Amino acid sequence: MSAILVAVAGLVIFALGYRFYSKFIAEKIFRLDPNYVTPAHQFKDGVDFVPTNKFVLWGHHFTSVAGAAPILGPAIAVYWGWVPAVLWVVLGTVFAAGVHDFGTLAISVRNKGQSIGTLANKLIGQRGKILFLFIILILVLMVNAVFAWVIANLFITYPASVLPVFIQIPLAIWIGYAVYKKNIKMLVPSLIALAIMYATAIFASGIPLMQIDLVQYMGGEDGAGLFGLGAVSTAFFIWIIILLGYVYIASTLPVWKLLQPRDFINSHQLVVGLAILYLGLFLTNPEITAPATNPGAETSWLPLLFITIACGAISGFHGLVSSGTSSKQLDKETDARFVGYFGAVGEGVLALISILAVVTLFANADEFTGAYSSFTESNAIGLGNFVEGAAGLAGGLGIPAGVATTIVSIIVVSFAATTLDTSVRLMRYIIAELGTEYKIPALTKTHVATTVAVASTAALVLIPEGPQGFGSGGYLLWPLFGTSNQLLAGISLLLISLWLKRLGRNYIYTLVPMIFLLFMTMYALFQQVLFTWSWWGTDSNMLLFIIGAVNFVFAFWITITAVSVMTKKSDEPIDKK
C-alpha cells in the first residue's frame, strides 16, 4: 500500500478535527472569553508569568510536549502492525489528546495558572491532590532521567549533532534579548538562527574536526576513560553532568531569556523537519512493507498499544506542560485553542510520519517481522529505525545521507532537551507546591526546589546500573512510564469533566475519552503488576511491582473519590469568573 494515501488520509482528519471539533469544544463547551484577564497579565512577573504571542507560545508548548516520545512510541508500536498504530494516533489526537491538552490549559487559566495537580485539591479534595502529586512526581522524575540518557546517547552516536545543538543556546539568548529589550520581531532572527544551526550541521557532517566525539578523544570504544570507567561510560558521565548543569540554569532563567526563543527556533525545526519528511515521502512514494497487523505478535496489543503510544495520541505529560508553563504565558484565553489543541495536532502529525518512516524502511514484510521479532526487541530498535527511515525519506530531496542523519538527530535532541528543561521546571513547581502544602518554606525557594529536582534526577541516572549500562538508571523505572503517563491523562480528563459539570456544562466530550483511557490504563497496569512484575510473574521485579501497585491503588482511590464527587446531587457552585 502506498504510504502517501495513509499520510493524506491522516492529515485530512487532523485538519477537520482542528477546524470543526476544536472550534465546537472551545466555543460551545468551554466558552472561551477574549476579554478574560489571563494569569499572564494578572500575575505578570517577567520570570514565569509572561504574556506571550500565541505563535511563540505554541512553539514552546509544542516542542515541550513533543520530545522524543511521539517518535519513539509509534516506532515501537508498529510491532503490532501499522494499522492499529495509525488509527490510535489519528483518532486519539482528534478526540482525546486535543481535548485533554486544550482542557488542562483552559482550566488552569481559569484558576490562576495553577497546575492540574493543585487543582485536584479544589475538585476532589486534599487527599486526592497528594495522591495525584505522587503519580506526577514519579512520572516527571522518569522523564528527566531517561531523556538525559537519550540525549547523551544521541550525542555519542551522532557527534556531528553536538555543535549545532550547542550553538542554539547563545543564539536563543541573543534573540530573547533582541525581542524583549529591543522590540524586534522574533520570526526573522529565529529563522536566521535555524539557518546557522543547519549550516553548521552540514559542515560538521563532512568535517570530523567539527564533531565533538568524546569517545574518540579517549581512544575509541575500548579506550580508557576517567574514574575507572571505560571511554563510553565516561562520555555518558560527562554529557549527563553537562546536561543537568544546563537544565538547572535553563529551568531557573526567566522564560523570555532562553526558553521562549529556543523553543520558537525548535518550532521552525518542526516545520522544516516535517516538511522535509512529508515532501520526501511524496517524492519517493514508498510502499508500506510492514504488515497491516501482526498476527504472530507474542505480546497482545490490547491494552499495551494505548500505553506504548502516549505522546502522539494522548499523554498526561501534556497536561503538566499546559497547566504548568503554558497557562502562565497565555496572552488571551481564546489563544488556548490554538496553543493547546493545535499543539496536540502538531504532535499527531509528527507521530504519523514517525510510523510511516519506520514501516517503509524495510524491503519486505519478512524483513520487518525479522527485525521486530518481539516487543522487547521493538523497544530496543525503535528510535534507531526512525532515524534511519527519516534519513531515507529526506534523501528523496537530494539531501546526502550523512547530512540528513545529522539534521534528524539534531531535531530529536532539540525536542528532547526542550522536554527535559520544561520537565525540570515542572518538577520545581511541584516540589514548591509540596513545600507550601507541608509548610516547608525552604522547598518553595526556586534554587532549593531546582536543586532537589536536579539532584534526584542525577541520583536516579547515575547511581543504579540501568539495563542500557552506566547512566541509564532511569530505565529501571521506565516500564512504568506508559501507565503513569496515561493515568495522569485519564485523571486530568476526570478533573476537567468535574469542572465542566460544576459549571453546568456538557462534559460528555471529556468523560468518554476519560473512561476509555482509564480503563485501558488500569487494565494494563493490573496485568503488568500481577502477571509480569510480581514474584510469580513472567519478569519478576520487586521495584516495579511495589511502585506499580502503589500507582494502581492511588489511581483507583482517586477515581473512586472523583466518581463519588461527580455523582453527588448537589455540588458547591464553582467560580465562573
Domain tally for the chain?
1
Specify if 195 maps to a domain: yes
Looking at residue 518, what is its pLDDT?
Answer: 94
Closest C-alpha to 113, from 339, 259, 323: 323
- With b meaning 16 or more CB within 10 Å and e meaning fewer, what string describes 393-417? bbbbeebeebbbbbbbbbbbbbbbb
Residue 575 within a domain: no
In a domain, 576, yes or no: no
d(CA 518, CA 556): 10
| CA-to-CA separations, 422 to 89, 384, 452, 480, in angstroms, rounded | 24, 25, 15, 20
Contact 304, 97 (CB under 8 A): no
In a domain, 45, yes or no: yes
Torsion angle of the four alpha carbons 495, 498, 499, 503, in this order, in degrees rounded to the nearest 10: 170
Most distant CA pair in the chain, distance: 71
Cβ–Cβ < 8 Å for 545, 477:
no
What letter represents residue 408's amino acid? V
Tens-level pLDDT at each residue, the chain (577 residues)? 899 999 999 999 999 999 999 999 999 999 999 999 999 999 999 888 999 999 989 988 887 787 677 888 899 999 999 999 999 999 999 999 999 999 999 999 999 998 888 888 888 888 888 888 888 888 888 888 888 888 898 889 889 889 988 998 999 999 888 888 888 888 888 889 989 998 998 888 888 889 999 999 998 888 887 878 889 999 999 999 999 999 999 888 888 888 888 888 888 888 888 888 899 999 999 999 999 999 888 889 999 999 999 888 999 989 988 998 899 999 999 999 999 999 999 999 999 999 999 999 999 999 999 999 998 888 888 878 888 888 888 888 888 877 877 777 788 787 778 778 888 888 888 888 888 878 899 999 999 999 999 999 999 999 888 888 888 888 898 889 889 899 999 999 999 999 999 899 999 999 999 999 999 999 999 999 999 999 999 899 999 999 999 999 988 998 888 888 888 765 565 655 5
**The whole model's pTM is what?**
0.89
512 CB neighbour count, 10 Å cutoff: 15
CB 37: neighbour CB atoms within 10 A? 12
* Residue 67: predicted pLDDT: 66
d(CA 464, CA 450): 22
Domain contains 404: yes
Domain-located, residue 150: yes
| One-letter amino acid for residue 287 of the chain | E
DSSP per-residue codes, 499-537? HHHHTT---HHHHHHHHHHHHHHHHHHHHIIIIIISTTS
Predicted local confidence at residue 577, as pLDDT? 53
Concatenated DSSP letters of 229-296: -BHHHHHHHHHHHHHHHHHHHHHHS-TTTTHHHHHHHHHHHHHHHHHHHHHHHHHH-PBP-S-SS-TT
What's the gap between Cα 498 and its chain centre? 25
Partners of residue 469 on adjacent β-strands? 466
CB 115, CB 430: distance < 8 Å: yes
Look at residue 30 and tell me if it is in a domain: yes
**Which residue's C-alpha cell is 456544562?**
505
CA distance 535 to 471: 27
pLDDT for position 474: 86
- Determine the 3-state secondary structure of 213 from DSSP: coil
The DSSP output letter for 286 is P
**For position 375, which CATH number holds?**
1.20.1740.10
Cis amide prior to 303 (ω within 30 degrees)? yes
Q: Which residues pair with 10 in a beta bridge?
A: none
Beta bridge partners of 466: 469
The verdict on residue 303 lying in a domain is: yes
**CA 294 to chain CA centroid, nearest Å:** 27
Residue pair 237/470 in contact by the 8 Å Cβ criterion: yes
**Structural domain harbouring 420:** 3-567
The answer to whether 520 and 307 have CB atoms below 8 angstroms apart is yes
Q: What confidence score (pLDDT) does residue 123 get?
A: 86
414, 266 contact by CB (below 8 A): yes
Residues making up the chain, counted from first to last? 577
Cα 518 from Cα 307, distance rounded (Å): 11
